[in-house]
Amino acid sequence: MTRAFLVVLDSVGCGGAPDAAEFGDEGANTLAHIAAHCAAHRAEGPLRLSNLDGLGLGAAIRLASGDDAPGLDAVPTGLWGAATEVSRGKDTPSGHWELAGLPVPFEWTYFPDTDPCFPPELVALIRETAGTAGILGNRHASGTLIIEEEAEAHIRTGWPICYTSVDSVLQIAAHEEHFGLQRLLDLCEALAPTLHEMRVGRVIARPFIGEGPWERTPNRRDFAMVPPAPTLCDAVQGAGRQVHAIGKIGDIFSMRGIDTVAKGPDAALMRHLEQAVRDMPDGSLTFANFVEFDSLYGHRRDPEGYAAHLEWFDGCLSPILEATRDGDIVIFTADHGNDPTWRGSDHTRERVPVLVAGASGEAGQVAFADVAASVCAHLGVPTVGPGRSFL
Ligand SMILES: O=P(O)(O)O[C@H]1O[C@H](CO)[C@@H](O)[C@H]1O
Ligand SMILES: [Mn+2]
Ligand SMILES: [Mn+2]
């Protein structure tokens, strides 16, 4: 029996989504634009990702979009392809659920990009649940900028800072000491069932500290809707196998089909992944998400920070790939794009690379749900979802 490791590099898209124009994202390409930025502007020169490119990253970018990616021109040794999403959201739950065999079968509710953005009944519910006379924010915003703008008023009034984005989210930022971390988590948890009934995908607690400058802390919590049907995690667990989640996978799947969880910043997650490759039993699935590409660099529109994080990630892979056993597969993919050279601060609709260590050949253009079918086929468990195995 063999093991599967499914590793999502959050937001590391490769352009070319056929419906990108419907999202205002025609031409967005996270990886190709970072590579072009490095080649043209970076003191250290072109993007260098020898492990991922060796598996087929540059080839996947060219296949997905036709765009060039300077510095990524290795001849692939892994199995490589590019995956297209059908769910209507370019958000984290949509991407992960579909990779896990569950294209989202309904339309999410999004809050309009108006000021205010939340309906009065929701504002009343937040006020009542928080025990405050009002809320701050109530608009579309970047999470770091809205803290800059509202933190002083937040500390003065004690009101929570509520905002949203192009994703189906209610985000609440509050100071860990002045407002209280547990109080923030309790508030988000209490609001979540109502928001989920409204088909808002997540309520996200965004705690911060400091007295200006302000700093968000790793105590973020996502209260996500339960997946509306079984996913890859349920299929693997249901076959009596172990499912280990690294990073925010547990939150994204509301712990459905997941046995164990390891969390922390990306550097800690890399150590957890290495340990999982050493320790996980035959027949198991390890499902990891590395979020900092998205949260620290994509949303912050920082192509050089994004490039450095890609190079850090790639540089950590050699010992991990060497520690895999015969018959293991390691799949590297992504859940959506977040082009740091694009306008605004939101995700971008893109295809994503699919690179498999432990297999070889060209998978070509595949579907997100094919990832779940491939993992099921590899592990020899009953398949889940509409996909077909590319292995
Ligand atoms: O700008 P910040 O707070 O990082 O928010 C981002 O994080 C949210 C959840 O991933 C996205 O919807 C986007 O709004
Ligand atoms: Mn994501
Ligand atoms: Mn994001």
How many angstroms does the Cα of residue 48 sit away from the middle of ligand 1?
28
CA atoms within 13 A on the CB side of 69: 29
Residue identifier of the C-alpha nearest atom 14 of ligand 1: 165
Any atom of ligand 1 within 6 Å of the Cβ of 143:
yes
Cβ atoms of residues 235 and 101 within 8 Å: yes
pTM for this structure? 0.94
Tokens of 20: 């990108």
Domain borders along the chain are 4-102+227-379, 120-224
Mean pLDDT of 207-225: 95
Calpha distance 276→262 (Å, rounded) = 10
Calpha distance 183→174 (Å, rounded) = 9
Treating both helix axes as pointing N-terminal to C-terminal, what angle do 303-323 and 30-41 enclose, rounded to 10 degrees? 110
Tokens of 282: 């035959």
Q: What is the pLDDT of residues 111-164, one digit of tens each?
A: 999 999 999 999 999 999 999 999 999 999 999 999 999 999 999 999 999 999
Same CATH topology for 4-102+227-379 and 120-224? no
Return the best residue to mutate from 163, 165, 296 for the ligand 1 pocket (most ligand atoms within 8 A of CB).
165
Calpha distance 41→54 (Å, rounded) = 24
Residue 39 in this model has a pLDDT that exceeds 90: yes
Q: What is the pLDDT of residues 50-67, one digit of tens each?
A: 999 999 999 999 999 999
Calpha distance 293→36 (Å, rounded) = 17
Tokens 């491939």 -> residue = 374
Domain 120-224: give its CATH architecture.
2-Layer Sandwich (3.30)
What percent of the chain is modeled with pLDDT above 70? Answer: 100
Largest CA distance in the chain: 61
How many angstroms does the Cα of residue 27 sit away from the middle of ligand 1?
22
Q: Say which CATH class 4-102+227-379 falls into.
A: alpha beta
What percent of the chain is modeled with pLDDT above 90? Answer: 99
Q: What is the pLDDT of residues 336-351, one digit of tens each?
A: 999 999 999 999 999 9
Mean pLDDT of 197-204: 97
Residue 1 in this model has a pLDDT that exceeds 90: no
- Rg value, the chain, Cα: 20
Looking at residue 66, what is its pLDDT? Answer: 97
Any atom of ligand 1 within 6 Å of the Cβ of 93:
no
Looking at residue 218, what is its pLDDT? Answer: 87
Calpha distance 341→362 (Å, rounded) = 29
Looking at residue 316, what is its pLDDT? Answer: 98
Any atom of ligand 1 within 6 Å of the Cβ of 169:
yes
Going by the annotation, the residues of the binding site for Mn(2+) are: 10, 294, 299, 335-336, 347
Q: Which residues surround ligand 2, an ion (CB under 5 A)?
A: 10, 92, 294, 335
Provide the H-helix boundaries in 244-367. Answer: 249-252, 266-279, 292, 303-323
Tokens of 358: 């432990």
Any atom of ligand 1 within 6 Å of the Cβ of 275:
no
